[in-house]
Amino acid sequence: MTKLSVNVNKIATLRNARGGELPNVTQVAIDCERFGADGITIHPRPDERHITKKDVYDLKEVVTTEFNIEGYPNERFMQLIKDTRPTQATLVPDPPDVLTSNAGWDTQKHVDFLKGICAEINACGVRSSIFVETNPQMIDYAQEIGVDRIELYTGPYAENYGNDAEQAVLPYVRTAKRAQALGIGINAGHDLNLANLGFFKRSILGLDEVSIGHALIADALYFGLEETIKKYKELLV
């Protein structure tokens, strides 16, 4: 079964809109786990527009499933990883001012940089993952980097799913097969939702984990958090 990691960034965004602790990010994370989530994902950006530095340390104290911290591996990010020792650190190539993660690493161009970063992460006892697009060549360099997993950027899949699902998923199938052949684990995330997740899961054999935030939190407005997590989990069996 593919694991579901719930990204709670949007909970922090809602809280920050008014200040205070409503909704409470740590309590929502606890509830997500209680409702069946296999992990909690956060992306603490430098401007703290959603997850704050304090949230990172607070969540470390309460998350009992897998804790995944994603972000650009600058000095601030790496210190958070070393301090909290999450289950997984997912590296994204975002500059500080982007709205959301919408591109993967050029692993060929950044091979030496990422090799050093992943070595630091692994030395902390933390699983390393890097955000990539559907280019098998990038997977070959990921192996050289020594990363434990890749996270497939599924934005293009979600965008094209309604037009031709088979064609939309084909590049992901090819890239995933290459990763599996090289012994690299496979995660996925970005714009996966109740409409397109099931087909993606069935198409990508050996899919270890999906990280879902925006769509899941939006669905929870209608179905409630517990029922929404149940619906997503049912698609991952």
Instruction: State how beta strands 3-7 and 39-42 pair.
Output: parallel
Task: Give the DSSP per-residue string, 67-92.
Answer: EEEEE--SHHHHHHHHHH--SEEEE-
Contact yes or no for 124/82 (Cβ under 8 A): yes
CB atoms within 10 A of CB 165: 15
Q: Is position 43 annotated as part of the catalytic site?
A: yes
Distance between CA atoms of residues 112 and 108, nearest Å: 9
Q: Which of 33, 50, 66, 70 is catalytic?
A: 70
For residue 108, which amino acid is it?
A: Q
Distance between CA atoms of residues 119 and 97, nearest Å: 27
Q: Is position 70 annotated as part of the catalytic site?
A: yes
Q: Is position 110 annotated as part of the catalytic site?
A: no
Q: Which of 43, 66, 151, 209 is catalytic?
A: 43
For residue 220, which amino acid is it?
A: A
Active-site amino acid positions: 43, 70, 190
